[in-house]
Amino acid sequence: MLVLGLDGFDDDLLGQLLEWSPTLMVTADTAEQLNAFGIKYDILVGEGDGELQSDIKYVSRQGVTVVEAALNYLVDNGYPAVNVVTDELRLNDYLPYASRINIVLFNPGKKIYPVSSGFTKWKPAGDVIKVVSEVNPINFTGLEALGESQYQTISDGFFTFQFNEPFIFIAEAI
């Protein structure tokens, strides 16, 4: 799990995510917050105070963004997936990694993840799915368009997205 920002993030959801994450990566800012909660982290990405906790690994930015440094480290070390808790959504930071590691972004109230064309998922009737990437054209089944890249499931069952880009990001409420 990579924690980039915790503003407005639900403490209970953070606890649930931590139960599933064997490795916890943080930035200097989030290291201080998590340390105050008594949460042990494993890796500090970028520059920061290493004296908050002992026995941690450091990943240098080496001229790239914190996101790039963290995802490069995870990919290079064979991690198959990462949950990212973030306040800011800069989806273009994650797009180059979508084919290399399974990424799920958690933003206050939303779960965002990349999908490839032909993506199919079962959802109950009335659930709203938002396409947060720019995509034209997009074809779908099992959904009705609500406008502004939002879609609602018509009935309990599967929906599908078809598009020309390698990946797009979609968001669901959590």
Please, are residues 91 and 113 in contact by the beta-carbon 8 Å criterion? Answer: no
Q: Are residues 92 and 29 in the same domain?
A: yes
What pLDDT does 47 receive?
75
Provide the pairing of β-strand 157-163 with 138-141.
antiparallel
Report the CATH number that the domain containing residue 13 is assigned in CATH. Answer: 3.40.50
Q: Are residues 131 and 104 in the same domain?
A: no
Q: Are residues 91 and 7 in the same domain?
A: yes
What pLDDT does 157 receive?
96
Q: Which of 59, 91, 108 delimits the end of a domain?
A: 108
What pLDDT does 62 receive?
86
Q: Are residues 88 and 139 in the same domain?
A: no
**Which DSSP letter does residue 154 get?**
S
What pLDDT does 37 receive?
87
What pLDDT does 49 receive?
57
Q: What single-letter amino acid sits at 75?
A: V
Provide the pairing of β-strand 102-107 with 110-115.
antiparallel
Tally of structural domains, the chain: 2
Collapse the DSSP code of 31 into the 3-class scheme (helix H, G, I; strand E, B; otherwise coil) and give the result: helix
What pLDDT does 25 receive?
95
pTM higher than 0.85 for the full model? yes
Identify the domain containing residue 150 by its residue range: 115-173
Q: Are residues 98 and 125 in the same domain?
A: no
The pLDDT profile of the chain, 174 residues, written as one tens digit per residue, is 999 999 888 888 888 998 876 899 999 889 888 888 889 999 999 876 556 677 888 998 889 999 999 999 999 999 999 999 999 889 999 999 999 999 999 998 899 999 999 999 999 999 999 999 988 899 999 999 998 899 999 999 999 999 999 999 999 998
Provide the pairing of β-strand 102-107 with 157-163.
unpaired
Collapse the DSSP code of 165 into the 3-class scheme (helix H, G, I; strand E, B; otherwise coil) and give the result: coil
